[in-house]
Amino acid sequence: MERLEEHFEICPYCDTLTLVEGIEEGERVCCTKCGSTLTFIIKNPIKIPFIYACVSVFLFVCSELLPFLGITKMGITANMTLMETATSMFVDNYEFLAVFIYCNMQLFPILCLFCIIFVYGCILLKKSDNLMAKKLIKLFFHLKEWSMVEVFMIAILVSMVKLVSMVELQIGDGFITFCLFLFFYVKTVSSVDKNYIWSKLTKLNNKHAIFNDLKKHIGQYAGENNLILCTNCNSINHISDKRCYLCKSKIDVRKKNSIQKCLALAIAATIMLIPANVFPIMITSSMGKNSAATIFEGIIFMWDTGAYHIALIIFIASIMVPIFKIAVLLALCYSVTKQKNAKLKIKTKLYGITEFIGKWSMVDVFVVAVLSALIKMGKVLSIYPGTASLSFCATVILTMLAANSFDPRTLWSDVK
């Protein structure tokens, strides 16, 4: 039975110092002030992620090698592999989109899995002091935020609904293995807790000399007691430290120029959202005639064809989510300077929501990638990405960067 011994933690959202009095498998600890999850341990916390990651890699390879989707129209057949969702963008001269889709849908997920296999393998082999393991676990937590296989799966389902009304659809073995891969990948990534894995790679943070008298400061803000949270390994450091004593990463009391960066990126995202909704995101060529559709026109088409649930998904992901994220981030930036101490718990939860939903706006871009890769039948029927796909992709990236640049602890920093 694995157990995380008694140790101190600082909440990354509200900066509150908390004493975790030891937890066992299947238990979870939340911040008493803002309600955010501090740490958790799943059942068999070392073997399960390792096994899941190995199975995920095998299924990913199968998904790459096997036929993914196929279509037939007027006696003409076309097929696509998983890789072609990215490479087709190169053919259509959308190199940036091709690289972005490849990285977020294939490269980053497989790198995350290899990081887990190596790190957990070192722990199983009793070599947890391996320097490379510490570097790879840091890489894992950076990459997993940009891995979008779940979003891609939703995009495939949306694409299939669109295709049913246009062509005869064939589901390949690669699609089935990809569904299985997605299941095991999500299980792998969600089973990794930053505090627990770093406790296996290093000594617990309560062994540091600065923690001798911390119990009297429990429930107070870490900054008030000259303590800094390392956001890479969640260890606690003294305010005088330039680098984390555990993972050796550079540390700061707060993210530098957090509000300015968040505002600049949010405003840039707002500007990019205009061409993303004005210009066509997809161009369809059928029997020598071209028709272009904007995001909103695509939603109307799905609604008119009776696919109400798909229309609603696209409307929420492509219209509501970007607007919601930008509005929340701008409101939080304003709140830091003008509305201190007001509804802090609600604001923190809103920020957590913006972090979680950010990448889901990529559904429409992935739909275009799937359809343009699969439907290449010359004059009979072909689909190409429109200029709005690039603008919309930029909007999603900018909103994600804006959310990452905002430091939620600034909401709480002046609370006494």
Given this model, what pLDDT does residue 416 score?
Answer: 38
Rounded to the nearest 5°, which phi and psi values hold at 25? -55, 135
Place of tokens 């430091």: 407
Q: Decide: 152 and 366 in contact? Cβ < 8 Å.
A: yes
pLDDT of the residue at 297: 87
Among 353, 349, 346, which residue's Cα sits nearest to residue 399? 353
| Cα–Cα distance, 305 to 308 (Å, whole number) | 8
Question: Contact 36/348 with Cβ under 8 angstroms?
Answer: yes
Q: How far apart are CA 122 and CA 114, in angstroms?
A: 12
Between CA 113 and CA 139 the distance in angstroms is 11
What is the per-residue burial (b if ≥16 Cβ within 10 Å, else e) of 304-337? eeebeebbebbbbbbbebbebbbebbbebbebbe
Q: What domains can be seen in the chain, in order of their start residue?
A: 258-416 (1.20.140)
Tell me the DSSP string of 338-358: HSTTSSHHHHHHHHHHHHHHG
| Residue-wise burial string across 237-273, b where 16 or more C-beta atoms lie within 10 A, e elsewhere | beeebeebbbbeeebebebeebbebbbebbebbbebb
Task: Return the pLDDT at 64.
Answer: 93
Residue 415's pLDDT is 43
10 Å CB burial of residue 54 (0-12, 13-18, 19+) is middle
Sorted by sequence, the CB contacts under 8 Å of residue 188 that are 6+ apart come out as 49, 52, 53, 56, 112, 113, 116
Residue whose structure tokens are 């053919």: 91
pLDDT value at residue 291: 80
> Which pLDDT does position 414 carry in this prediction?
57
pLDDT value of residue 114: 97
In this structure, what are the phi and psi dihedrals at residue 369, rounded to the nearest 5 degrees? Answer: -65, -45
pLDDT by residue, tens only, the chain of 416 residues: 677 777 888 888 888 888 888 788 888 888 888 888 888 889 889 999 999 999 999 999 999 999 998 888 777 787 888 988 888 888 888 899 999 999 999 999 999 999 999 999 999 988 877 788 989 999 999 999 999 999 999 999 888 887 877 778 889 999 999 999 999 999 999 999 988 898 888 755 444 555 566 777 788 888 777 888 888 888 888 888 888 887 888 888 888 888 999 999 999 999 999 999 999 998 887 766 778 888 888 888 778 877 788 888 889 888 999 999 999 999 999 888 776 667 888 888 999 999 888 888 898 889 888 888 888 766 667 788 888 999 999 999 999 999 999 999 888 865 43
Amino acid letter for position 304: D
Calculated CA dihedral for residues 350, 355, 356, 360, nearest 10 degrees:
110
pLDDT of residue 324: 94
Reduced to 3 states (helix: H, G, I; strand: E, B; else coil), residue 257 is coil
User: How many angstroms separate the CA atoms of 272 and 152, rounded?
Assistant: 22
Q: Report the chain's C-alpha Rg in angstroms.
A: 24
Query: Looking up tokens 């689909």, which residue turns up?
Result: 383
Q: What's the pTM value of the predicted model, to 2 decimals?
A: 0.89
Q: Give burial (CB, 10 Å; 0-12/13-18/19+) of 127.
A: exposed
- Whole-angstrom Cα distance, residue 415 to residue 18? 17
Q: Which two tokens stand for residue 241?
A: 């430290």
